Amino acid sequence: MIVIKEAKTKKEMKDYVMFSFELYKNNPYWIPPIIAEELETFDKDKNPAFQSAEAHFYLAYKDNKIVGKLAAIINWDEVKILGKSKVRFGWFDVIDDIEVTKALLEKVYELGNKHNLETAEGPIGFSNLDKVGVLVEGFDQMGNMVTWYSLPYYKDHFEKLGLTKEKEYIESDFSFHGINPEPFQKASVLIKKRYELRCLNFTKTKDIMPYVDKMFDLFNETYAKLQSFVAINDIQKEYFKKKYISFINPEFIKFIVDKEDKMVAFAIVMPGFSEALKKANGKLFPFGFYHLLKAKKHSKEVVFYLIGVLPEYQSKGVTAIIFDEYYKVCQAKGIETCVRTPELEENHAIHNLWKHFNSRITKRRRTYSIKL
């Protein structure tokens, strides 16, 4: 018999997080989150996402043992501002038992029906800066800190239960070796001169902070036309600023400004933390922090986390400046591999940015939806 219980106490929420550690304990491709940070994400008093969203965290039990988990989420900004009548589900993990998946999804449908919502979609988090999708290709590839790993039967469960593909994302990487920088170096010089642009470079995290709000504003404007996009609000900006910026080498954050110092483009590249997170195994102490700090300074892999260009500059070659600046930094640091995080299959503007880099697709992932 399958029993579904909502996790509410500290112990239950810890069990919710730790189930994934048990499920993937022998999997070489799963990247464990930092346990304390995962718990903070689910804490209504700490994560500002809860100011515009509600979430319920469910555990599935079979023979008194946890066999699955899922979060049922409503992003009220998405429902009320964007007019999308949708309940979300995320942070989904389960054993290979379709009845467990069915029982967990029923809790999502219950929440959606309670509020007269029309569809359910997942796996997705609270916002566009959360993890997204289940893998449909690339199960034998190492994950990273900004994606969920998932097992092949997840998609099979969804499809057998009547869910259909909603969105598809691709992930790619490319070798830093063999890149010919000449085209974007020449273009960078011309674009800077033509539009009177310059790049802001940093060596200290504190010097970046005054620009971060403007960066998120630009992020909102860049992606506003994507049908799945929910803007980041001011409270969330502060939260993400504290949560992520300190993890990133200042040299890996680039802002492009015009002659009036208006930000027209930005990019954030993160060090590759996958191996460090595997070693930390969810804990910062006693040695996890050391592994992360070492990776921050010495990782030979970088992850292109976010890139944004104002719509009026998106066809003017501004990304040549960004690529030129990153080429200099990556060359100096001996970077070997560049990883592209999930990009919507429909986002052709982003794909075109990389057309000269000989990328290879390493993973595909999807969200699934169903009408209620």
Q: What is the pLDDT along the chain (372 residues), one digit of tens a residue?
A: 999 999 999 999 999 999 999 999 999 999 999 999 999 999 999 999 999 999 999 999 999 999 999 999 999 999 998 899 999 999 999 999 999 999 999 999 999 999 999 999 999 999 887 999 999 999 999 999 899 999 999 999 999 999 999 999 999 998 888 788 888 899 999 999 999 999 999 999 999 999 999 999 998 888 877 666 777 888 888 888 877 787 788 999 999 999 999 999 999 999 999 999 999 999 988 888 899 989 888 899 999 888 889 989 988 989 899 999 999 999 999 999 999 999 888 877 777 777 778 889 999 999 999 999
pLDDT of residue 227: 64
Domain boundary among 170, 192, 214: 170
- Asked, for residue 64, whether it belongs to a domain, the answer is yes
Same domain, 30 and 123: yes
- Asked, for residue 361, whether it belongs to a domain, the answer is no
Same domain, 193 and 45: no
Residue 123 preceded by cis peptide, ω within 30: yes
Same domain, 16 and 83: yes
Cβ pair 305, 146 in contact under 8 A: yes
- Asked, for residue 289, whether it belongs to a domain, the answer is yes
- Asked, for residue 302, whether it belongs to a domain, the answer is yes
Cβ pair 329, 252 in contact under 8 A: yes
- Asked, for residue 48, whether it belongs to a domain, the answer is yes
Q: Which helix (H) or strand (E) holds 303?
A: strand 301-309
Q: Does the pTM exceed 0.85?
A: yes
Q: How many CB atoms lie within 10 A of CB 189?
A: 13
Looking up tokens 């910026």 gives 245
Going by C-beta distance under 8 Å and a sequence separation of 6 or more, which residues neighbour residue 46? Answer: 40
The one-letter code for the residue type at 348 is H
Same domain, 91 and 211: no
How far is 102 from 96, CA to CA, in rounded Å? 12
- Asked, for residue 340, whether it belongs to a domain, the answer is no
Name the nearest CA neighbour of 330 among 262, 249, 261, 227. Answer: 249
Total number of domains in the chain: 2
- Asked, for residue 108, whether it belongs to a domain, the answer is yes
CATH code for the domain in which residue 267 is found: 3.40.630.30
Going by C-beta distance under 8 Å and a sequence separation of 6 or more, which residues neighbour residue 332? Answer: none
pLDDT of residue 228: 65
Same domain, 299 and 182: yes
Same domain, 26 and 127: yes
DSSP conformation letters of 121-140:
EESB-SSTTS-B-EEEE-TT
Enclosing domain of residue 282: 178-335
Give the angle subtended at the CA of 144 by the CAs of 141 and 149, to the nearest 5°: 60
Cβ pair 133, 92 in contact under 8 A: no
- Asked, for residue 362, whether it belongs to a domain, the answer is no
Domain boundary among 108, 139, 170: 170
Cβ pair 29, 149 in contact under 8 A: yes
pLDDT of residue 346: 83
Which structure tokens are listed for 294?
């070492």
